[in-house]
Chains A and B, each alone.
Chain A
Amino acid sequence: MMLAEKYLRDAMMPHMWCPGCGHGIILQAVIRAIDKAGLEHDKTVIVSGIGCSSRASGYMNFDTLHTTHGRALPFASGIKMANPDLNVIVLTGDGDALAIGGNHFIHACRRNIDITTVIFNNSIYGMTSGQYSPMTPVGQFATTSPYGNIDRNFDVCELAKSAGATYVARSTAYHAPSMPDLIVKAINNKGFSVVEAVGQCPTYYGRRNKLGSPVDMLNWQKEHAVNVAAAAHLTPEQLADKLIIGELHNSSAPEFTEKYDQLVARLQGRE
């Protein structure tokens, strides 16, 4: 991939992800989006938490911050508050963003702070060898659900929308060719943007759930994805095991750093 030279840290490659892992496909889509959006290296900061997915920041040739588990958004919020001119992009896993980091996630949505968050959703904790996450679908197997998961999983897109995020979209690793455009729109949204990128962990999730090879897992994504326009004509029953992909929510609301600047200006008597 030609863009790799421009955007990846060559010395860090090849990356640590397993053969056929979806994280590399999603990271490539992020890079294509950054390129399409024309973001400047010096004006862009990549922040991640902990997990296989969160290792993504280390491969990117930008100012990057690999933080603590679940805390990418608080660090990212600090960066954005200190210098609102920066483009801040958070790369996080379903466990990182929604288990240990779930509270930070809903409050970042609520504040509508201008950060773009890409959730690498592989339905599992990959790095720690396959515990269920809040995104593991009901009935699926993990080391911590050997008899099938009885917890209901989040729909992170619905969660983000209800909590106040102003741009929400979903794509899959199979749909890599159309994913960058959704990320570009997320980046351009002045507010908190969430892109759920459904991917695959063949090593822990795929193997334990007998989902076959990485190619089979990508085909599963293809077969279970329904575009948002087509989904409007289907019943909830028909959509029960489907992934609705595309732009799911796009609205506007006051952005946090702007409100904060206005507050400071008011208190200093500048307005």
Chain B
Amino acid sequence: MGRKFAVAINPKWCKKCGICAAFCPRQVFTHKAGHVPEITAEEKCIGCNQCEQRCPDFAVTVRGKNDESDS
């Protein structure tokens, strides 16, 4: 099964709070305090978009792989 979603963090806007990592139901992110979270398991993303919608910094984007539009 190929990856269905692309998850990206804009490091210029991210303030490293870790909210995206904390509320991801599939542990797509790995967050070390004081660092921009890393996307370590993108293949597990189910596209629920909770990380993006709770990001206070407009820094997370989740996109469908065959989809140019915003989710």
Contacts and interface: CB of A to CB of B under 8 A. Distances in A.
Interface of A: 1-4, 8, 13-15, 17-25, 28-29, 32, 173-174, 176-177, 213-215, 218
B56 A25 contact: yes
A14 B12 contact: yes
Given A173-B54, A176-B54, A1 B61 contact: yes
Interface of B: 12-13, 15-19, 22-23, 49-50, 52-61, 63, 69-70
5 residue pairs, one from A and one from B, having the closest CB atoms? A24-B56, A2-B70, A20-B17, A19-B15, A215-B22
B22 A24 contact: no
Contact of B61 (A2, A8, A22, A24): A2
Contact of A177 (B12, B53, B56, B57): B53
A214 B33 CA distance: 13
19 contacts: A1-B60, A2-B61, A8-B58, A13-B13, A15-B58, A19-B16, A20-B15, A21-B56, A24-B55, A24-B56, A25-B55, A29-B53, A32-B53, A173-B56, A174-B54, A176-B53, A213-B18, A214-B17, A215-B18
B15 A4 contact: no
Given A2-B70, A14-B12, A19 B54 contact: no
A49 to B, nearest CB: 21
Contacts of B17: 19-20, 213-215
